[in-house]
Amino acid sequence: MSTFTPNKSLQVDGWLDAIAWNEQSLVPVIAQEAGSKDVLMMAWMNRDALLETLRLGEAVYWSRSRQKLWHKGEESGHTQKVKEIRLDCDGDTILLLVEQKDGIACHTGEHSCFFMQWDSVSSNWQKISKS
């Protein structure tokens, strides 16, 4: 059951301390499509990214390559509307349940970033046509 509504005036508070930020002050975030339950991608958040996500109601990550906040879809249009946010037992991973705009999460144009699959016959990774 979704209990999430964005809160534009949410302030930094003790709830941020429930998260076991890593040595780079980041936490891994799994994005799962709320309807299909497909795992779409994994990305990272810092405190500002999580705060922005909660304020905006859309996924905002920390881009490690560009070293800046990354409002997912800001260029592609493939935004992720947050339906639910979960935290794991030891506070070191976040799970976002999202509505994926256009159903495309991956920068390659695929639905999910997880479109390579281990193939036991060839003992190698193979692209799957439908991810």
- Give the footprint of its own copies on this chain (CB under 8 A): 3-7, 10, 13-15, 18, 28, 30, 32, 36-39, 41-42, 54, 84-93, 95, 106-108, 110, 113-121, 123-126, 131
**Shortest distance (Å) from residue 119 CB to its own copies:** 5
Instruction: Please classify residue 65 by burial: count the beta carbons closer than 10 Å to its beta carbon, then call 0-12 exposed, 13-18 middle and 19+ buried.
Output: exposed
Instruction: Please classify residue 49 by burial: count the beta carbons closer than 10 Å to its beta carbon, then call 0-12 exposed, 13-18 middle and 19+ buried.
Output: buried
Kindly tell me which of 74 and 116 has the beta carbon lying closer to its own copies: 116
Cα dihedral sign, 120-123-128-131? positive
The DSSP-derived string for 19-38 is S---TTS-EEEEEEETTT--
Kindly tell me which of 77 and 122 has the beta carbon lying closer to its own copies: 122
**Shortest distance (Å) from residue 77 CB to its own copies:** 18
| Token pair listed for 63 | 């881009």
**Shortest distance (Å) from residue 107 CB to its own copies:** 7
Kindly tell me which of 79 and 97 has the beta carbon lying closer to its own copies: 97
CB 73 within 8 A of CB 80: yes
Kindly tell me which of 83 and 101 has the beta carbon lying closer to its own copies: 83
**Shortest distance (Å) from residue 113 CB to its own copies:** 4
